[in-house]
């Protein structure tokens, strides 16, 4: 298998699906310029009809994507930075998430929304949000958060083939990571299938986005002290592979949930509630959460970076839950 970067996985997924299905097209701000590095070579191969630049109007072009999906196309809409999705929330919440339900199943929306995330780099409060926690509360939306090159390709291809709206959050902190990725055009990672990255009997660590690598590094460090951590990447938070996570917690009796989003209402919080409700009698210690404090993100990197989860914070949380 070829070794490629996360970004190359995103490009490969779009190219293969556009080659396979003429109804797939890409639209977004400056996608023909490859401004984010995720559309390289696509306009040259498929032309401006299928790789479309849009005005700076997220509500307008996300709504256009919704309409195109309703009439049989499979749009891939790139939002330049994930927090810009807020500008299009009426389209997302009132139309995209609800139309299949409102029309009694007569309408489907095979719409993929790609959402690059830029945090930890001094982009300040309006550009640094990790908004999967917000959209997680909205019924009707599938949410994928790939953390590796393999997942970047396999999950995005599954999203494009889905008949439901799928939001794919692409963490820029993972973009340079490399991995062996199948070059098979039909390589897919099903939405709703977690990945157990490391097995262990003492504690379960569930992490998403850039914190997956941190969790693996923390597990290696803990192993030196005889603590065997099981590390799980859910890969999608809706649908969520609860069975894999709950089976692990029943085995280990402990959970550390790691999430770069703000703590209040986070995926880590929801997961903690699920485990507390469904594995209460299996838990040997309180659930631990490693998240970002409920505060706005400052511009100064020296102030910003300590806010997010890191290896030391994960190790400390595991030690607390181990007593």
pTM of the model: 0.97
Which domain-ending residue is among 180, 215, 246? 180
Can you tell me the mean pLDDT for 223-243? Answer: 98
Q: Is 98 exposed, middle or buried (0-12, 13-18, 19+ CB in 10 A)?
A: middle
Q: Any idea which residue has 């919440």 for tokens?
A: 93
Can you tell me the mean pLDDT for 102-122? Answer: 96
Can you tell me the mean pLDDT for 31-36? Answer: 92
> Same domain, yes or no, for 97 and 241?
no
pLDDT at 53 over 90: yes
Residues annotated as catalytic (active site), given as ranges? 127
Give the tens place of pLDDT for each residue, 126-173: 999 999 999 999 999 999 999 999 999 999 999 999 999 999 999 999
Q: Give a yes or no: residue 187 inside a domain.
A: no
pLDDT at 1 over 90: no
Q: Give a yes or no: residue 188 inside a domain.
A: no
Give the tens place of pLDDT for each residue, 62-72: 999 999 999 99
Residue 227 is classified by DSSP as: -
Q: Give a yes or no: residue 185 inside a domain.
A: no
pLDDT value at residue 253: 98
Give me the CATH number covering residue 84: 3.40.50.970
Q: Give a yes or no: residue 236 inside a domain.
A: yes
> Same domain, yes or no, for 174 and 304?
no
Can you tell me the mean pLDDT for 192-217? Answer: 98
> ω before 239 within 30° of 0 (cis)?
yes
Average pLDDT, the chain: 97
pLDDT band at 261 (very low <50, low <70, confident <90, very high): very high
Angstrom CA distances, 319 to 72, 97, 249, 267, 322, stand at 52, 41, 16, 22, 5
> Same domain, yes or no, for 131 and 208?
no
Q: E strand or H helix at 212, and its extent?
A: helix 211-223
Task: Supply the range of the domain harboring residue 234.
Answer: 195-322
- What is the rounded CA–CA span in Å between residue 130 and residue 57? 20
Q: Give a yes or no: residue 232 inside a domain.
A: yes
> Same domain, yes or no, for 145 and 214?
no
SS3 call for 314: helix
Q: Give a yes or no: residue 23 inside a domain.
A: yes
In contact, 256 and 200? CB cutoff 8 Å: no
Share of the chain above pLDDT 70, in %: 100
pLDDT value at residue 7: 97
Burial 163-188 (b: 16+ CB within 10 A, else e): ebbbbbbbbbbbbebebebeeeeebb
- What is the rounded CA–CA span in Å between residue 152 and residue 144? 9
pLDDT band at 277 (very low <50, low <70, confident <90, very high): very high
pLDDT value at residue 134: 96
> Same domain, yes or no, for 105 and 11?
yes
Total count of domains within the chain = 2
- What is the rounded CA–CA span in Å between residue 254 and residue 165? 34
In contact, 304 and 128? CB cutoff 8 Å: yes
Q: Give a yes or no: residue 199 inside a domain.
A: yes
Q: Any idea which residue has 């997961």 for tokens?
A: 271
Can you tell me the mean pLDDT for 264-275? Answer: 98
């Amino acid at each position: 298998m070829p070794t490629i970067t996360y970004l190359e996985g995103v490009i490969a997924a779009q190219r293969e699906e556009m080659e396979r299905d003429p109804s797939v097209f890409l639209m977004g701000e400056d996608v023909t310029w490859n401004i984010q590095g995720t559309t390289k070579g696509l306009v040259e191969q498929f032309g401006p009809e299928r790789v479309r630049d849009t005005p700076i109007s997220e509500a307008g072009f996300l709504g256009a994507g919704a309409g195109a999906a309703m009439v049989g196309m499979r749009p891939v809409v790139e939002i330049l930075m994930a927090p810009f999705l807020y500008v299009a929330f009426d389209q997302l919440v009132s139309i995209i998430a609800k139309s299949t339900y409102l029309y009694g199943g007569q309408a489907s929306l095979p719409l993929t929304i790609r959402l690059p995330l830029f945090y930890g780099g001094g982009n300040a409060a309006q550009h640094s949000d990790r908004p999967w926690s917000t959209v997680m509360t909205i019924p009707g939306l599938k949410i994928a958060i790939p953390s590796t090159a393999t997942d970047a390709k396999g999950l995005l291809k599954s999203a494009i083939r889905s008949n439901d709206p799928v939001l794919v959050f692409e963490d820029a902190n993972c973009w340079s990571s490399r991995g062996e990725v199948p070059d098979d055009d039909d390589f897919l990672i099903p939405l709703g299938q977690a990945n157990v990255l490391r097995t262990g009997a003492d504690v379960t660590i569930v992490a998403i986005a850039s914190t997956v690598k941190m969790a693996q590094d923390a597990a290696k460090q803990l192993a030196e002290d005889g603590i065997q951590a099981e590390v799980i990447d859910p890969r999608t938070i809706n649908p969520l592979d609860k069975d894999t996570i709950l089976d692990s917690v029943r085995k280990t009796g402990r959970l550390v949930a790691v999430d770069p989003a703000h703590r209040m209402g986070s995926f880590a919080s929801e997961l903690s509630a699920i485990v507390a409700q469904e594995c209460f009698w299996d838990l040997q210690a309180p659930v631990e959460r490693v998240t970002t404090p409920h505060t706005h993100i400052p511009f100064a990197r020296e102030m910003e970076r300590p806010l997010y989860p890191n290896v030391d914070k994960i190790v400390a949380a595991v030690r607390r839950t181990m007593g």
